[in-house]
Amino acid sequence: MRKEDCFYLGKIVSKFSFKGEVLIKLDTDEPELYKNLESVFLQIGRNLVPFFIERLSLHKSNLLRIKFEDVDSEADAEALMKTELYLPLSFLPELTGNKFYYHEIVGFTMNDVNYGVVGIITGVNESSAQPLFEVEDEGNQILIPMNDDFIVEVNRNKKQIVVQTPEGLIDLYLGN
């Protein structure tokens, strides 16, 4: 399995028992979607390695308590600490309307209601307090806050996102 064909599910953050159980901090708003998993991919070095799940349960808010097959001791669990978990993209529930996954909008064209074509979305910047669309236009990078009030339409068929940004925001990046 290639990492490009998967999405990040979470990270092993601690051992739970002396029998090899671990706690995974999930990167999701809906942890209950993942309580029936049979396997996951763990990033070991540069490879994604399948690990089969013996049992799992939700633990507190966004943690999964997992017992992997053949991980039977505290030492086995310790070797997996801070390992990232991945699932194939096909496991993601389909989103509709103006909801989207960050990976799915890369390559979409961004249009602003007032400005017109802004450029091509190259990624999402999550390093600030609010995620930002990274939009490329003729060598210029434009950062648009990913604000529900700005998003007018997500059109998957046309591969475009229509936004309505505050007046002057796009011009700040283009020096107009």
Mind listing the pLDDT tens digit for each residue in 48-87? 999 999 999 998 877 999 999 999 999 999 999 999 999 9
pLDDT tens per residue across span 77-95 = 999 999 999 999 988 888 8
Residue 173 has pLDDT above 80, yes or no: yes
In angstroms, the CA 11 to CA 40 distance is: 12
Give whole-number Cα distances, 114 to 111, 152, 163, 168, in Å.
9, 12, 9, 10
How far out from the chain centre does Cα 32 lie?
Answer: 16
**Are the CB atoms for 91 and 39 separated by under 8 Å?**
no
In angstroms, the CA 84 to CA 51 distance is: 12
- Closest residue by Cα to residue 151 from 169, 165, 168, 132: 165
The band of 176, judged by pLDDT with boundaries at 50, 70 and 90, is low
Burial class (CB in 10 A: 0-12, 13-18, 19+), 161: buried
What pTM value is reported for the model? 0.71
Domains of the chain: 3-91 (2.40.30.60), 102-174 (2.30.30.240)
The band of 32, judged by pLDDT with boundaries at 50, 70 and 90, is confident
Long-range contacts of 69-76 (CB under 8 A, 24+ apart): 71/20, 71/22, 72/19, 72/20, 73/18, 73/19, 73/20, 74/15, 74/17, 74/18, 74/20, 76/20
Beta bridge partners of 135: 121, 142
